């Protein structure tokens, strides 16, 4: 059966299973996560209608906090914006995992998201769209770069770029055999990790061409050949690969650093059935591929990479063999005190001669 005929059959079955009393799904989400073509297929298949409000993390939490979790039936904050707001404001309701078709979701992503969104024993989020930071490498010029600390190799003198931001601190720590996420609850232990990373980053400064601060700057440095290895996001690597096949995103040996935008149920949502139907519908591999084509990032739908365009599929599968996906280090919620000491560390690295 072809992917197209499989999708047709799936939609037909969903139409037969459409609820007798269809609801309107009020969806609070990011741009690209609910393409018009996907909404049309969902409405046809289920009988529900969809109203989309585009937002971002800060606005999502603010809107739900202002209404006590009302006004929407499904929202999509990042996983690190769930446990804290729920514990403080009670703006979400638990996910009934029996209503989620978990067989469609990449197991390692599902388990990590459940762990990071559990409050008092209840799960409040399941994964949807994700992305990572890792390495962008010109294999013809820097083929030996396989982990973050390889960006310090002397044979790359003046040919490396990365940001002075949290991902660099975290990535270098993991590559040095440390576990910064495990130390989030112990400020002294975390400071000790940062001190070691700071020393390493200061030692590496002569190798660095520039600390990039924007996506265009990074792309230009790599495209021009001024730099041959970088720490950056996966979609940037794939964009560069389209122009130069020697350049691609590489998942570091110690693990790419991953973010996940989730599905959550607002506390006063009134169309839970429609929300669960949407989650299960968009996590079908063929539908998830449509979202990837629109948003640019992959979803946690297992096997969806087989349905995207051939170029993106090849880039993804080269960067993320299954073992690399399972090795992703997913960002947990960040304690406020951690942000302060990270900022101080980055300032000292910047100022070091």
Tell me the pLDDT tens digit for each residue of 188-200: 999 999 999 999 9
**CATH code of residue 251:** 3.40.190.10
Helix locations, 47-150, DSSP H: 57-67, 83-89, 107-116, 139-142
How many residues are there in the chain?
353
Residue 313 lies in a domain: yes
Q: Which residues contact 179 (CB under 8 A, 6 or more apart)?
A: 173
Predicted confidence (pLDDT) at residue 208 exceeds the cutoff of 80 = yes
Same domain, 223 and 336: yes
Same domain, 221 and 279: no
The count of domains in the chain is: 2
Instruction: Give the strand pairing for 208-211 and 229-233.
Output: unpaired
Q: What's the first-to-final CA gap in the chain, in angstroms?
A: 62
Same domain, 88 and 146: no
Residue 340 lies in a domain: yes
Residue 71 lies in a domain: yes
Same domain, 336 and 303: no
**Model pTM score:** 0.89
Q: Which residue has the higher pLDDT, 337 or 147?
A: 147
Same domain, 66 and 109: yes
Same domain, 31 and 15: yes
Same domain, 142 and 214: yes
Once rounded to an integer, what is the mean pLDDT over residues 201-217? 96
Same domain, 246 and 273: no
Residue 327 lies in a domain: no
Once rounded to an integer, what is the mean pLDDT over residues 261-278? 98
Task: Read off the pLDDT of residues 63-90 as tens digits, 9 standing for 90 and up.
Answer: 999 999 999 999 999 999 999 999 999 9
CA separation (Å) from 254 to 110, 168, 196, 200? 20, 13, 17, 16
Same domain, 139 and 251: yes
Percent with pLDDT over 70 in the chain: 94
Residue 295 lies in a domain: yes
Same domain, 112 and 28: yes
Same domain, 280 and 203: no
Segments forming the whole domain that contains residue 264: 3-124+258-319
What is the C-alpha separation between 338 and 183, in angstroms, rounded? 10
Task: Read off the pLDDT of residues 8-59 as tens digits, 9 standing for 90 and up.
Answer: 444 434 433 444 456 999 999 999 999 999 999 999 999 999 999 999 999 9
Mean pLDDT estimate for the chain: 93
Q: SS3 for 75? A: strand
Instruction: Give the strand pairing for 257-263 and 126-138.
Output: antiparallel
Q: In what order do the strands lie in the sheet with 74-75?
A: 49-54, 24-29, 74-75
Residue 324 lies in a domain: no
Same domain, 252 and 262: no
Task: Read off the pLDDT of residues 134-172 as tens digits, 9 standing for 90 and up.
Answer: 999 999 999 999 999 999 999 999 999 999 999 999 999
Instruction: Name the DSSP letter for residue 165.
Output: S
pLDDT of residue 337: 87
CA 245 to chain centre: 24
Binning pLDDT at 50, 70 and 90, where does residue 333 land? confident
Once rounded to an integer, what is the mean pLDDT over residues 270-292? 98
User: Phi and psi at residue 297, in whole multiples of 5°?
Assistant: -110, 155
pLDDT of residue 15: 39
Task: Read off the pLDDT of residues 238-252 as tens digits, 9 standing for 90 and up.
Answer: 999 999 999 999 999
Residue 326 lies in a domain: no
Residue 194 lies in a domain: yes
Binning pLDDT at 50, 70 and 90, where does residue 2 land? very low
What is the C-alpha separation between 231 and 197, in angstroms, rounded? 15
């Amino acid at each position: 059966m072809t992917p197209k005929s499989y999708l047709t059959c799936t939609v037909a079955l969903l139409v037969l299973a459409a609820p007798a009393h269809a609801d309107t799904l009020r969806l609070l989400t990011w741009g690209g996560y609910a393409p018009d073509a996907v909404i049309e297929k969902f409405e046809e298949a289920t009988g529900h209608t969809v109203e989309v409000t585009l937002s971002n993390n800060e606005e999502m939490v603010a809107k739900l906090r202002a209404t006590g979790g009302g006004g929407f039936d499904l929202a999509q904050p990042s996983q690190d914006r769930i446990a804290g707001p729920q514990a403080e404001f009670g703006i979400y309701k638990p996910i009934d995992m029996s209503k989620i078709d978990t067989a469609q979701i990449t197991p390692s992503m599902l388990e990590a998201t459940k762990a990071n969104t559990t409050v008092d024993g209840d799960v409040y989020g399941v994964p949807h769209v994700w992305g990572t930071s890792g390495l962008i490498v010109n294999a013809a010029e820097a083929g030996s770069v396989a982990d973050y600390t390889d960006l310090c190799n002397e044979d790359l003198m003046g040919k490396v770029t990365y940001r002075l931001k949290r991902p660099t601190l975290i990535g270098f720590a993991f590559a040095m055999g440390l576990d910064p996420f495990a130390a989030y609850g112990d400020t002294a232990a975390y400071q000790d990790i940062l001190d070691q990373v700071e020393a390493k980053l200061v030692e590496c400064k002569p190798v660095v061409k520039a600390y990039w601060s924007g996506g265009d700057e990074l792309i230009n440095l790599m495209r021009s050949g001024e730099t041959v290895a970088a720490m950056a996001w996966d979609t940037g690597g794939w964009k560069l690969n389209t122009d130069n096949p020697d350049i691609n995103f590489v998942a570091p040996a110690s693990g790419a650093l991953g973010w996940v935008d989730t599905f959550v149920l607002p506390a006063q949502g009134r169309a839970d059935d429609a929300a669960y139907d949407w989650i299960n519908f968009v996590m079908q591999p063929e539908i998830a591929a449509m979202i990837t084509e629109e948003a640019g990032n992959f979803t946690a739908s297992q096997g969806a990479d087989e349905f995207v365009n051939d170029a993106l599929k090849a880039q993804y599968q080269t960067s993320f063999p299954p073992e690399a996906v399972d090795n992703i280090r997913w960002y947990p919620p960040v304690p406020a005190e951690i942000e302060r000491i990270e900022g101080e560390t980055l300032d000292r690295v910047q100022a070091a001669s």
